[in-house]
Amino acid sequence: MIWAEISFFSKWWNDIDEQKRAMVKRLLKAGQLEMVTGGWVMSDEANSHYFAMLDQLMEGHQWLQRHLGVKPSAGWAVDPFGHSPSMTYLLKGAGLQNMVIQRVHYAIKKHFAQQHTLEFLWRQSWDSSSHNDITCHMMPFYSYDVAHTCGPNPSVCCQFDFQRLPGRRLSCPWRIAPQPITEENVRERALLLLDQYRQKSRLFRSSVLLAPLGDDFRYTESSEWDVQFNNYQKLFDYFDQHPELHIKARFGTLSDYFQALHRRLNATGTKLPTVRGDFFTYADRDDHYWSGYFTSRPFYKRLDRSLESLLRASEILFSLTLADMRRFRGDDHPADTFPAQELFAHITSGRRNLGLFQHHDGITGTSRDPVVLDYGTRLFHSILNLRQVLQDSAHWLLLMDKKKYLHDSSKAFLLMATQDALPLKMPLLLSDKPRTLVIFNPTEQFRTSVISVVIDSPDAAVVEAETGRAVDSQVSAVWVEPSRASTEAFQLDFVAELPPLSLVIYHVTEASVGSSFRAQYTFLHHSKTQAVPGPALPEGAAAVGSGPPAAGPVSVVRNQSQPGKERRLSVPAQPGGGPALLFTRTSSGSGLQRSGLLRHHHPLPARHAQSELYHLDGPAGRSLEISNLVDIRSEVNNELAMRLLTDVANGNRFYTDLNGFQMQQRRTLPKLPLQANVYPMTSAALLQDSASRLTLLSAQSQGVASLKPGELEVMLDRRLQQDDNRGLGQGVTDNKLTASLYRLLVEDRRGGAQSGGGASVEHLSLLAHLSSLSLSHPPITMVATGDEQLPKLRPFQPLRSSLPCDVHLLNLRTLEDEQVETPSVEAALLLHRKGFDCG
């Protein structure tokens, strides 16, 4: 027997007595039970970011080590809808040597079967050595149930699923029922099964065969164990009694299979082929490509990444707080009143809720409505709890006199600013007395960022608390409706200089009337396009203008550091692209805001989507920030996409990232239907030619395509009334008002790509990596309460300098003590050195 997902196993473990726990350990030691993969869930491999994939793997492995003392050696991923080499890299790094996959395009399975390459060494596209290779077994047939695992004929194989015997709760859809194995029919039944085994074995290079006996929601009652074991044992006994059949069959675990496989391969000197790349987009039959789930329920995909960012920030700040407390006290204990165990429980819950959502029916958006609501509730509660972790950790770190630390749960020291939450924005109340803002930079890089907060006054002043230096700021409108600004709330934007992993303090006060720099607005109507006066742009910044209405809004992206270099980018005003996608823009006019800090461009009014383009000084000014606010709740059977039109001559090739970990080349094939040319984008997609590269960085997972040269289509949302007959049993109609966030980067190219198994291997540039990092992990703003009674604070800066540009601090993860849900004195430091493009 094998078991894969620890989230469900741990719930069962918590409810059983010590006698049953001892029995489980005996079965594990005897090799009758094996824990495979060992992740918190069987993770999706298209939408999940590698941070979350690794985090749920660590959570599961640490649970296994702590409770059972075992370490998985084989992976089992039979239900994710396509497979990514990023996951294989993480599995190999976690100590696994072998793995099984199932959901691969039926034509690829056919090709691999013809070439006898269904078992192969899976190698990373960028890897020149075999160090990270993992042995992979690809199941050859339609499904992983018993009817599709013994051989090529499901009507025959189903007869050997004895849970479907007449009178039991299941039956065979091919209307040929299984028969109990008796002395009278054992020969006929054994030869029928053997024929299927032999036909399947001809697809592989080894005579060792894997035939799993299981399916969804099986072995829930003891009678199924008995009926399967007893009937199969009679067949196995018959095989043993007739050596002329040349078969030896027995029950085993997944590791038993791979051990036998490797013994046979070594004995015969057979070498497995090497395969690079991924297995997207999956199709199970005909033109039924499973690309819709790359975008389904985008609200929750965005919420997932928000929780992921908050969990990472909380982990790092909590670990730094515990370390600082131990240094201050001179022992291994936190401050007496610091709620370390309570906060660590919040972190553990956050890890597990994030991990649970990585399930291949979670982040994919392929669960039924009540399950989706449960996921959303878990994610939201974890966000609230992790905010508490950040606030309490920052409380200690900011205090100048640590002896005055006192935790009082009834009196919050800091509150998270929630201005970015949808849809409510609460204004910060100002007066002539300073309000204290604490900004946490969760990244390992020094950054200059524009901090935005909503205030109740049209005039405000910002100073850096430590130096008293006045900070550049501006006040912008908060739009209640697309054409009406609020008179009670205003957006304050100011530039903050944030050292790596620092907590920096700013004071905000109400200023005299008319003293603040205010954003200037000019309304541009399609019939009256006009120039917009404003300050000159700084060197290296991106310039954005508006073009003629017939072509839709046109942006000329110009690199000021190289005069004469510019790229054209536009968003078409008309729907197009075919029946599977709806490209919609319904604005009748647009507003352009221009100022020294940032610029917005947004259509007015916009029933479906609003876009904003920001101009920022410094490195952040090398990219354009685009935000969409999508609402298709009134639509019927429509899918909304954002199309970018450029003059990049990329041909039919483009690139998307795999889980935020690496880039994968894609080719648009006109002979295939539109849905076959849609691929997953976790955090980046790019078009390039010999002279330039256009990179779209994303803060959430979505489907992406390049249907024509120079085009990039991003799927924003979809609303479908009907079921797709793939197990969900309903349409997807629980759409919400959803925000999506991007950065667009244009770069010159000077070098070529390296080759990797016939496809070029590309990486993001260092600038793109840093832009993606700041997009995914924005600064976190906290507001001090009770400013009059605040003790003296000082900024917290744990690093003297930034880490190297290609080194990412993935996490600083406090480990659990032997006592459950208690933090230990150890923390796991996870660093990722990123591959980058030098051209």
pLDDT tens digits, 4-15: 999 999 999 999
Specify the number of domains making up the chain. Answer: 1
pLDDT tens digits, 336-360: 789 999 999 999 999 999 999 999 9
Cα-based torsion angle of the residue sequence 121, 364, 625, 779 in order, rounded to the nearest 10 degrees: -90
Residue 334: pLDDT band (50, 70, 90) is: confident
Mean of the pLDDT values across residues 113-139? 96
Task: Answer whether residue 531 is part of any domain.
Answer: yes
pLDDT tens digits, 141-192: 999 999 999 999 999 999 999 999 999 989 999 999 999 999 999 999 999 9
CA-closest candidate to residue 625, choices 681, 699, 553, 569: 699
**Predicted confidence (pLDDT) at residue 727 exceeds the cutoff of 80:** no
Q: Strands 98-101, 134-138: parallel, antiparallel or unpaired by DSSP?
A: parallel
Task: Answer whether residue 145 is part of any domain.
Answer: no
Mean of the pLDDT values across residues 488-494? 91
pLDDT tens digits, 259-269: 999 999 999 99
Task: Answer whether residue 636 is part of any domain.
Answer: yes
pTM of the model: 0.90
Q: Where are the beta strands (DSSP E) in 562-720?
A: 566-570, 589-594, 600-604, 623-630, 638-646, 653-658, 662-667, 679-681, 684-688, 692-698, 702-705, 711-719
Instruction: Specify whether the CB–CB gap between 36 and 252 falls below 8 A.
Output: no
Task: Answer whether residue 46 is part of any domain.
Answer: no
Residue 79 annotated in active site: yes
Active-site residue, selected from the candidate residues 15, 44, 79, 336: 79
Mean of the pLDDT values across residues 39-45? 98
CA-closest candidate to residue 339, choices 437, 280, 405, 291: 405
Residue with tokens 């194995």: 181
Task: Answer whether residue 411 is part of any domain.
Answer: no
Question: 621: domain CATH number?
Answer: 2.70.98.30
**Predicted confidence (pLDDT) at residue 799 exceeds the cutoff of 70:** yes
What's the pLDDT at 732? 83
Please provide residue 837's backbone torsions phi and psi, each rounded to the nearest 5 degrees: -90, 130
Task: Answer whether residue 668 is part of any domain.
Answer: yes
Task: Answer whether residue 700 is part of any domain.
Answer: yes
pLDDT tens digits, 383-419: 999 999 999 999 999 998 888 887 877 677 777 765 4
**Predicted confidence (pLDDT) at residue 482 exceeds the cutoff of 70:** no
Task: Answer whether residue 365 is part of any domain.
Answer: no
DSSP labels for 356-382? HHTBTTTTTS-S-HHHHHHHHHHHHHH
**Predicted confidence (pLDDT) at residue 556 exceeds the cutoff of 70:** no
Residue ranges making up the domain that contains 654: 520-722+732-750
Residue with tokens 């009834």: 410
